[in-house]
Amino acid sequence: MKGLEEMPTRAMEERVRDAFGAAAETVTTQDLPGPPTPRGRSRVAWGLRAWAPRARLHILVPVAAAACVSVIVVTATVVAPKLLAGPAGGQAGALAGAPKFFAGVANPSENFPPSTVLKIYRSATGRVATTVRPSGPEHEFAAVGRLGNDRTYVAAAVTDFGACTTQLYRFSIDARGRVSRLTPLSVPRVNGIVEELAGSADGNVLAYTAYGSKRCVLHGHDQAGVIHLATRQVTTWSYGGGPGRTSFSSLSLTADGSMLGLASGPGDPIAASDAWVLPTSAPAGPLVHRARKVLHLRTGVYRVVLNDTGSQAYVETGPASGRRGVVVLGLYDISTGKQVRSLGRLSLFGDYLSKLWISLDAAAQHLLVYGYPASHRVTEINLATGRQASTTAAHLFTEGSTAAAW
């Protein structure tokens, strides 16, 4: 082949070595395939506590066998695809009008023992602007959500896994992505491990889901809660129990915080097939008695995000064909349950049966999509034009929870 024949052998070796070195620098423990999530355990609980056992398991593998397997796996499944895809932080083009940054829960590979941190990523490139570590040595960030504009956020940090308590922190970022001091919210700690957070665009209401309350049994979501920040009023709704138990997930709020949107399924939120709405002024009690079912899809309701008024919702579902490797995004009318328009399909880049997480920006004009299987890829979608851009957010937590927010 002309060009290769003319290139000096040493120069070509150096270029190949440098390319593999650059790609290998982006490899993390999250890029390597791990064991499947146990059905009876929360994905966040598995994600936060699985690092140490996996590390010990790798240490016990004989050194010679581990070296051989590592070279083969990393080269074939991680380094080679990264060489083909280009450098980390590469982009398909920034979206005009999209927020400049997004916040994410990350688990850097250099942390040992493994622990989570907060990272502020640049939307256009996926590169990290700032990293924030938990305030306590045993604390773990579990979720992050936008509160108000695209510069203010709330983070949930588990402060005691034994007692199942979570502290909520408010923080903001400046024009360069630098983070202010994390300030605890003036509300009681959540009795449970927070897995999801959603804030209203006016900055007055915060919603969450938590599991493990009271008994701290890590078997899935146990409650949904809403905090009215001006009055510090906290209202919680339980999921109930028993074989007919309905679980909820995929929180979202209207711009004024008056309506909460959720997805649900029988027993396991992974099997969600319905969308519900709940007035945030509703009294405490069983969620199924306070909320109203507004949508049922045979192909599933993986995620549901209300628009600013609550009249419509962005819904992620499976394809009608039932084939793996694809999810479908659409806009649905809440009052009729009919699809208003299709937003297109998103490929999971493999024969996966999985769901993606979506985050709506404060202006309700863009979606941030993340949670691709075995990948730190994020996709940004302009809801008016349908244009998409993709990049890579290194170390972004991908094992469930609201790990990223615009």
**pLDDT tens track for 215-252:** 565 544 578 999 999 999 999 998 865 555 677 889 99
Judged by DSSP in three states, 304 sits in strand
Judged by DSSP in three states, 20 sits in helix
Residue 65 phi/psi, 5-degree rounding, is: -65, -40
Distance CA 149, CA 25 (A): 34
**pLDDT tens track for 375-398:** 889 999 999 888 999 999 999 987
Q: What is the dihedral of CA 42, 355, 77, 130, to 10 degrees?
A: -70
* Averaged pLDDT, 44-54: 37
Question: Does 8 score more than 50 pLDDT?
Answer: no
Q: Could you tell me the pLDDT band of residue 405, with boundaries at 50, 70 and 90?
A: very high
**Mean pLDDT score of the chain:** 76
**pLDDT tens track for 276-312:** 999 999 999 989 899 999 999 988 888 999 999 999 9
At 226 the pLDDT is 97
Contact 330, 342 (CB under 8 A): yes
Q: Which domains does the chain have, with CATH numbers?
A: 84-91+98-405 (2.120.10.30)
Span of 177-191, 246-260, 341-355 with lowest mean pLDDT: 341-355
* % of the chain at pLDDT higher than 90: 45
At 137 the pLDDT is 77
Q: Residue 206 corresponds to which amino acid?
A: L
Nearest CA-CA partner of 288 in 210, 223, 234: 223
Nearest CA-CA partner of 48 in 357, 392, 330, 403: 403
* Averaged pLDDT, 261-285: 83
Distance CA 161, CA 27 (A): 29
Question: Does 13 score more than 80 pLDDT?
Answer: no
Distance CA 381, CA 406 (A): 12
At 57 the pLDDT is 24
At 4 the pLDDT is 36
At 267 the pLDDT is 54
Q: Which range in 21-30, 85-94, 104-113, 330-339 is most confidently predicted, on average pLDDT?
A: 330-339
Question: Does 55 score more than 60 pLDDT?
Answer: no
Q: Could you tell me the pLDDT band of residue 1, with boundaries at 50, 70 and 90?
A: very low
* Averaged pLDDT, 196-202: 94
At 81 the pLDDT is 40
At 399 the pLDDT is 64
Q: How many CB atoms are located within 10 Å of the residue 349 CB?
A: 13
**Cis ω on the peptide bond leading into residue 113 (within 30° of 0)?**
yes
At 245 the pLDDT is 63
Q: Which residue has the higher pLDDT, 70 or 150?
A: 150
